[in-house]
Structure 1
Amino acid sequence: MVSPRDTDTQRPEDIETRSIISMEELDPSPVQDEFPDIETGKCPPKSHDPPSATPRAASPSRGFFTLNLGLRGHNWDSWLSRLQKYSTYPPTLFVVLHFANTSLIPLATGSVAESENYLLLTRPIYQSPPLEHVILTVPILIHIVSGIALRNIRSSRRARLYGAETRSQRSSLTFWPRMSLQARLGYIFGPLLGAHILVNRVTPLIVDGGSSGVGLGYIAHGFARNPVLWNLYYVVFVAVGVWHIIGGWAAWMGWRVTTARQEHRNKKGSLEGYLGYPESEQKAKKQRKMWWVVNGMVAVGASIWLAGALGIIGRAGQGTGWEANGWNEIYSQVPAIGSWL
């Protein structure tokens, strides 16, 4: 209530301004008339509608597309990310078997000849022509292609965002996403794995028609032919491969140690900074713990693998007889690098 004394003391300009403001103040109303209720799926009546008014039901097609496309977000990024993730499952099973055959069993037996018997037991699992492609060839190709496709899609998206249309405009700016340590390890591991397949699978198939004669003795024979090259190669190959595999699985489980995830450490926009919690200290402590756990697993795994591969297989020496002659023929005919082996 405004007393007559207050109205007498007010100036005409204040009264006019107040009346204009009161005319402009309106009750807020939603832009869209109908909003589906969470529990019933129907629209609640508006407060200014009469009780007899019944709201219109939401469109079924609109609700369907909103739930499936708006919330779930099925796009190329999500599909390619899933392909890249789930394509690593079958090769991981092979790596576990190969780790046992080429490291754990030779360390347990201390002999290449005795370890060959165990290798023959598991060879039909991952060296049969159809199963080998299902477990190794196809998943590895899917993993590589999906990773490159993801980087190209994100690169083109950045180019469109900044208005770069021609190739010269794109080359003048850096649109290729920042390459993480995990991605670098993958691109290094690819050629190393290709050389391993070339020597142990492709060349025996060309020379002998198959790799039935390729085993731990074949690898030991290669070490004896050129110990410096093969010791250096297997150290890099095993270290990079174990690091990439364990780092990838750590990333799938949320431990992003080898991936490039930039953390925003500015406390001005952080609620925890205002509440007084040591946000940066907690994150740094957790990150250090993850780093030590993941890299510790990498160091232990690579050390055990190299101990069996280099310590037992690499010191077994050359083969003898017709078998050694066949292995010499295979090594000498390896494309591009046969003269070095």
Structure 2
Amino acid sequence: MQRPSESLRDYIKRYFANRNTSTEVDGRDVIYHFHQGLHSIELRRKMFENNPKTVSDMMAVVNKHADMEDAEHAHRRHKDRRDPHDRPRQRDDDSARPAGDRPPRHGKNRDRAESSKARERKRGPDNTIAITDRRVEERVVNIIFGGSSAASCKHSIKLHNRDVNSVFRHPVEPLRWSEIPITFDRRDDWVHLSRPGAYPLVVNPVILQIRLAKVLIDGGSVLNIIFAKTLEDMAFDMTKLVPSDQAFYGIIPSAGSTPVGKVTLPVTFGTRDSYHTESIIFEVALFETSYHAILGRPALAKFMAILNHTYLLLKMLAPNGVLSIHSDIQTSHSCEMENINTAETLERSSNQA
């Protein structure tokens, strides 16, 4: 049951944390009990209209509502911080002081300086408009960060800082899969690209003995993500997920996303004659994108893989030599267009709300 003062995002996290402790839970029961615990009449109505059949269908509706709720709360907090009536009156603000009690001012230069300060400290409409303009001009560059790889407490932060500060004090030991150099040259120019670097690097590894055709290689992501719908399509038992309460950021602007859990899965690149398999820890996300999964820096480091967006090529070592994994141009283009259409749809729905 959602608590009276509990946000929808916190309710989702608490509900699925409790659900992960139970075994053999039917998806219909999960949807029913989640629906009954909501205190938002509007969301309950939307769920009734959409009639979700699976947990992923339900979360597609719930996440949209949670995103709008997070955006509304963020806007309200920003508005409260910017509200001029809630700010304490500055000592030099003479607007509320009677004219006869104002101290004399001496010298033209002092008058000019004090007038400039007074103008900057005013809480009038002009300053409010300037603040609004600055907000419009803000730009955001998103990267995916957070998750279970981030420090979860002060002790972890201290350990991370200690590791960073001591990297040059220890002798360098050879890393696994580093005995053979990986290079790129003209022989890797396997396809003509009119706009090199314009398409994402999308590959098709085998995960849990199933080949996934749309896996994004993201060297800017600090974690690996697999989506709940992907696991359900793979007939994975969702009750085997390990609970995780570490939010990650960079997917939804100005808001964090809490995974339903994490799971370690075998990921294989290559063919039967030459392949490389590693166990990769994934954060399981409830929202959906055009990709089946995202492999970030942790996976690339474990495979000792090198990506090249110019050639749309991923290289790594295997027992029989260097593996070259080519991206699929048509798949990359279709995923990119689907992401653009999804972003435009979400923006229109947010503006209408």
TM-score normalised by structure 1 residue count:
0.26
If each structure's helix is expressed as a fraction of its own residues, which one has the higher value? 1
Choose 1 or 2 for highest CA Rg.
Answer: 1
If each structure's strand is expressed as a fraction of its own residues, which one has the higher value? 2
TM-score normalised by structure 2 residue count:
0.25
